[in-house]
Structure 1
Amino acid sequence: MQAAELNALRARAECLVDGASMEAAYDRLAESIRSDLADRIPLVLVVMTGGVIAAGKLLPRLDFPLEIDYLHATRYGEATRGGELRWLARPRHSLAGRHVLIIDDIFDEGVTLKAIVEACRIEGAASVRCAVAVDKRHGRKVEGFLPDYVGVEVPDRFLVGEGMDYRGYFRNLNGIHALPDTP
């Protein structure tokens, strides 16, 4: 896509949650996480690539000892619809006996996040918790699984910003924006 096309698409996007509201959501997330994990020295796993923005905003608010690692599991790549789960990178640290906090951008259907949690448990994590910046409201969620910490809830729209993207673009936008019908 050309810059002009992307700028035109961005201009038609609707802001659902502004940047200031997202900052307040990260404050609330940090307080909840702190009360649960401050005395456990958690291993924080950032889900690439979307989770990098949420982690960058959330981690400085967690003022207690922790370790950071990352993983990369995706069903999307740069596509706009999910497919089969692919592991591109697994954590370098051992998860055995660790209290794990997974940070991701969105809880959409939950297939990817649930698979990541299950993988952490198989690797021997003592506990696994998930924090997401956004929970998209709809009835297509995997059964029996919810994130432990949610920043904001939004309607079922095609979202960008705060780590979420359209074909690799717009992850860096502050706030949550809904794109109009996308090509």
Structure 2
Amino acid sequence: MTIQNDISEIVLSVEDIEAINKELGARITKDYEGKKPVLVGLLKGSIMFMADLIKHVDTHMEIDFMDVSSYVGTKSTGEVKILKDLSTSVEGRHIIIVEDIVETGTTLNSIIEFLTYRKAASIEIVTLLDKPVPERKLDVEVKYIGTKIPDGFVVGYGLDFDQQYRNLPYIGLLKPEFYS
């Protein structure tokens, strides 16, 4: 029995994800020509998305990572903890936060506040998935959205449930019996 059997439906195929990465990379390339942005990946979920996305960003850029947490299992705690800080100074820099999925906005609001305090020149967000939920508290616009998805617990392509399923090459709905 493989982990693929735990998936009820494929939401985004490998081909869908590749097309989204190409489109988002082209938009970022156009918008940041001559600005040398820092793409900040939020660990661990954004790793696969960021690795594929930057292949399509054709302008000078840097990357860095933050490890932040606000989830236990399937629920947001509402409290954001910084587990790994940036190694790059953001003062006067153009920052693009790379996020796998935007749901409540709790984590992003905290990171934006943190980067604003550190005097970033600009802060934008790129996300593969936008999953609007009733409890969304995001105070900023997400400039680069790969695709909107309906409610449901998705895993794969970096997204996890209790650190499992990140290695799926696509994004799928996890069968409820595995997280209920």
Relative to the length of structure 1, the TM-score reads 0.90
Alignment map for 1:18-57 (pairs within 5 Å): 18-57=13-52
Report if the CA contact (8 A) 2:158-2:166 is conserved. Answer: yes
* Cα 1:126–1:145 shift into 2, 3 Å: same
Q: Which amino acid aligns with 2:10?
A: C
Structure 2 runs not aligned, ≥5 long: none
Structure 1 runs not aligned, ≥5 long: none
Quote the offset at 1:9 in angstroms. Answer: 5.2
Q: Is 1:7 equivalent to 2:6 in the alignment?
A: no
Partner of 1:17: 12
Question: Among residues 74, 78, 83, which one is paired with 1:80 in the alignment?
Answer: 74
SS in 2 for 1:71: strand
Q: Which amino acid aligns with 1:136?
A: K
Q: Is 1:131 equivalent to 2:90 in the alignment?
A: no
Q: Give the Cα–Cα distance (whole angstroms) in 1 for the partners of residues 60 and 12 of structure 2.
A: 31
Runs (4+) of structure 1 exceeding 4 A deviation are none
Alignment map for 1:154-173 (pairs within 5 Å): 154-173=149-168
Partner of 1:107: 102
Aligned length: 177
Q: Which amino acid aligns with 1:174?
A: P
Q: Which amino acid aligns with 1:159?
A: V
**Bigger share in strand:** 2
Let me know the Cα RMSD of the aligned residues: 1.6
User: Deviation per CA, 1:58-86, whole angstroms, max 9, x where unpaired?
Assistant: 01111211111111111125x22111211
Relative to the length of structure 2, the TM-score reads 0.92
Quote the offset at 1:143 in angstroms. Answer: 4.6
Q: Give the Cα–Cα distance (whole angstroms) in 2 for the partners of residues 139 and 82 of structure 1.
A: 13
Q: Give the Cα–Cα distance (whole angstroms) in 2 for the partners of residues 130 and 155 of structure 1.
A: 20
Quote the offset at 1:145 in angstroms. Answer: 2.3
SS in 2 for 1:59: helix
Partner of 1:92: 87
Percent sequence identity over matched residues?
Answer: 27
Q: Which amino acid aligns with 2:3?
A: N
Question: Among residues 169, 175, 180, which one is paired with 1:180 in the alignment?
Answer: 175
Report if the CA contact (8 A) 1:41-1:65 is conserved. Answer: yes
Report if the CA contact (8 A) 2:90-2:120 is conserved. Answer: yes
